[in-house]
């Protein structure tokens, strides 16, 4: 039945050619051919995308490289040989006629009344699920050896001084930390690219960075991964627990790296994992309860740091989810652990006072109380006393500290990096065609106030957000404002900013009462 069956017929118009306005109902052969070609191209592109991923068994969720060749049935469902055989065996045991199964052309024509245990399944939901699994839960196919290119090219790795120069554009200060990270990363990827034919195998150079909060630990790793263009997974050690308890399993950190590599196992095996807040899994002291998020997590991470085949879920952080599993080798994954280690200064101070507290020339007890960079004197023994087990520290051979931020460093952080906070606000006001200027005294006043909060560079944004609120609110009201100058008095709430009108001299805005 077509639209023509209900068309009103008027005398003399039966044989009339269709009007131009009827083009939406009648298409030409060229237009229809174009639509067919477009549809064919779309289907071909979808098929190419699907070819990049392995097929997953609809029942057991095992990928093709583990379960073997899949059997395709209608509605784009793939089932492995084992699940198909078990299905046939269970049907034979319940007296289900296999002849009816063979005659079923499609899912809609199945004689479901005779199928055992089918009443417990909502068939409408099952049909909706036939659309397939999302790509986030699929694994990319491995390329043949002749097509496979080496993931790491020794000639493409930038030299340590080039890595540090790139880090200098984004991170202020921390010269020693940037130098250590540049060399460690360079040696790590040389290790991957090297062969062991001469019997010399280079060990992994996992890193442990220690520094006060807000000094740039996470920012350093993020910048490094962006420069090297390798997959990076950033995870928090506070959520990790021993297997079998509420929280994330230890293998979930590798699952996050696999997701960052777009489920490409080969690319993930050359990535970087940054575990933040590593000090939170230290051994708990003076407790009679089971330490499921402390020492046991350190014990479970030993095999990851050393290098082992780990089975991880694809597209989920829990093994209990109905998602496929795959094996990832952590041998060539670079692990960087970072933490603030609060109260570690007291352990260092105690050790230093014991070394020089006897005799007439003994140091004063309070000699190290005001030393901001006391963490630079840390040793492996101090970290062990803090609560990290020796086996864990032995797998993190590169240990270094970051400096506490001084007032001058905070001023440089405000204005020097490519994405400095001041540049961000200058861009915001430039969209309103207003120029934003900061006096040098105002910058030092902001840095001094941030230093007192003792949370590092994180305090800078909260301070600027506070005094920029009124400016960002009032500026769009008046189109005649051309420039705003932030003064020291305005930052210290003793006066107002300098407002320059377009074509006028600068006038000082009176403070709000």
Residue by residue, DSSP assigns 256-296 as HHHHHTTT-HHHHTT-EEEEE-GGGGSPPSS--S--TTTHH
Range of lowest pLDDT (108-122, 162-176, 300-314, 477-491) = 108-122
- Give the mean pLDDT of 124-136: 50
Q: Is 433 exposed, middle or buried (0-12, 13-18, 19+ CB in 10 A)?
A: exposed
- Are the C-beta atoms of 416 and 453 separated by less than 8 Å? no
Residue 479 pLDDT level (bands cut at 50, 70, 90): confident
Angle at 287 between CA 282 and CA 292, to 5 degrees: 55
Output the CA torsion 418→422→424→427 (10° steps): -110
Higher pLDDT, 121 or 306: 306
**Per-residue pLDDT tens digits for 143-191:** 554 444 444 555 677 889 988 988 888 888 889 999 998 998 888 888 8
Average pLDDT, integer, range 326-338: 89
Q: Name the band, by pLDDT with cuts 50, 70 and 90, for residue 511.
A: very low
Strands 334-339 and 272-276: parallel
Q: Assign 111 to helix, strand or coil.
A: coil
Mean pLDDT of the region 97-122: 52
**Quick one: DSSP state of residue 499?**
E
Position 171 scores a pLDDT of 86
pLDDT, residue 20, reads 44
pLDDT of residue 439: 92
pLDDT value at residue 438: 93
Q: How confident is the model at residue 121 (pLDDT cuts 50, 70, 90)?
A: very low
Residues written for the chain: 513
Distance CA 281, CA 292 (A): 9
Identify the pLDDT of residue 148. 45
User: What end-to-end distance do the CA atoms of the chain give, in Å?
Assistant: 78
Max avg pLDDT among 112-116, 236-240, 369-373, 449-453: 449-453
């Amino acid at each position: 039945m077509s639209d023509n069956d209900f068309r009103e017929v008027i005398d003399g118009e039966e044989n009339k050619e269709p009007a131009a306005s009827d083009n939406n109902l009648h298409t030409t052969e060229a237009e229809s051919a174009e639509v067919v070609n477009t549809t064919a191209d779309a289907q071909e592109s979808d098929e190419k995308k699907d070819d990049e991923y392995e097929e997953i068994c609809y029942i057991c969720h095992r990928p093709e490289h583990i379960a073997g060749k899949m059997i395709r049935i209608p509605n784009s469902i793939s089932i492995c040989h084992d699940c198909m055989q078990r299905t046939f065996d269970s049907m034979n045991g319940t007296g289900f006629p296999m002849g009816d199964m063979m005659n079923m052309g499609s899912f809609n024509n199945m004689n479901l009344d005779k199928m055992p245990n089918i009443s417990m399944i909502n068939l409408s939901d099952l049909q909706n699920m036939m659309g397939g699994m999302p790509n986030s839960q699929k694994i990319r196919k491995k390329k043949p050896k002749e097509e496979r290119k080496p993931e790491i090219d020794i000639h493409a790795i930038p030299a340590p001084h080039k890595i540090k120069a790139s880090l200098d554009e984004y991170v202020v200060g921390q010269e020693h930390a940037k130098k250590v990270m540049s060399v460690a990363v360079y040696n790590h990827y040389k290790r991957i690219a090297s062969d062991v034919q001469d019997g010399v195998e280079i060990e992994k150079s996992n890193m442990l960075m220690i520094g006060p909060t807000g000094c740039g630990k996470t920012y350093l790793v993020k910048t490094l991964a962006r420069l090297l263009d390798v997959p990076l997974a950033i995870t928090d050690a506070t959520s990790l627990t021993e297997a079998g308890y509420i929280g994330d399993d230890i293998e979930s950190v590798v699952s996050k790296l696999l997701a960052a590599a777009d489920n490409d196992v080969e690319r993930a095996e050359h990535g970087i994992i940054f575990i933040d807040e590593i000090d939170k899994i230290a051994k708990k002291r003076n407790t009679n309860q089971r330490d499921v998020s402390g020492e046991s997590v350190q014990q479970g991470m030993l095999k990851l740091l050393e290098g082992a085949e780990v089975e991880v879920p694809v597209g989920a952080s829990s093994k209990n989810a109905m998602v496929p599993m795959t094996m990832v080798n952590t041998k060539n994954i670079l692990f960087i652990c970072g933490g603030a280690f609060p109260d570690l200064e007291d352990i260092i101070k105690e050790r230093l006072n014991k070394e020089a507290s006897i005799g007439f020339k003994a140091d004063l007890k309070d000699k190290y109380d005001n030393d901001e960079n006391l963490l630079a004197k840390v040793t492996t023994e101090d970290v062990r006393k803090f609560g990290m087990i020796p086996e864990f520290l032995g797998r993190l051979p590169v240990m270094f500290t970051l400096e506490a931020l001084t007032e001058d460093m905070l001023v440089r952080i405000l204005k020097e990096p490519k994405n400095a906070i001041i540049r961000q606000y200058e861009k915001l006001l430039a969209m309103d065609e207003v120029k934003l200027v900061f006096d040098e005294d105002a910058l030092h006043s902001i840095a001094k106030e941030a230093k007192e909060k003792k949370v590092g560079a994180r305090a800078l944004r909260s301070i600027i957000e506070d005094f920029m609120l009124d400016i960002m609110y009032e500026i769009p009201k008046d189109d005649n404002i051309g420039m705003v100058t932030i003064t020291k008095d305005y930052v210290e709430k003793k006066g107002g900013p300098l407002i320059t009108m377009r074509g006028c001299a600068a006038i000082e805005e009176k403070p709000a009462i």
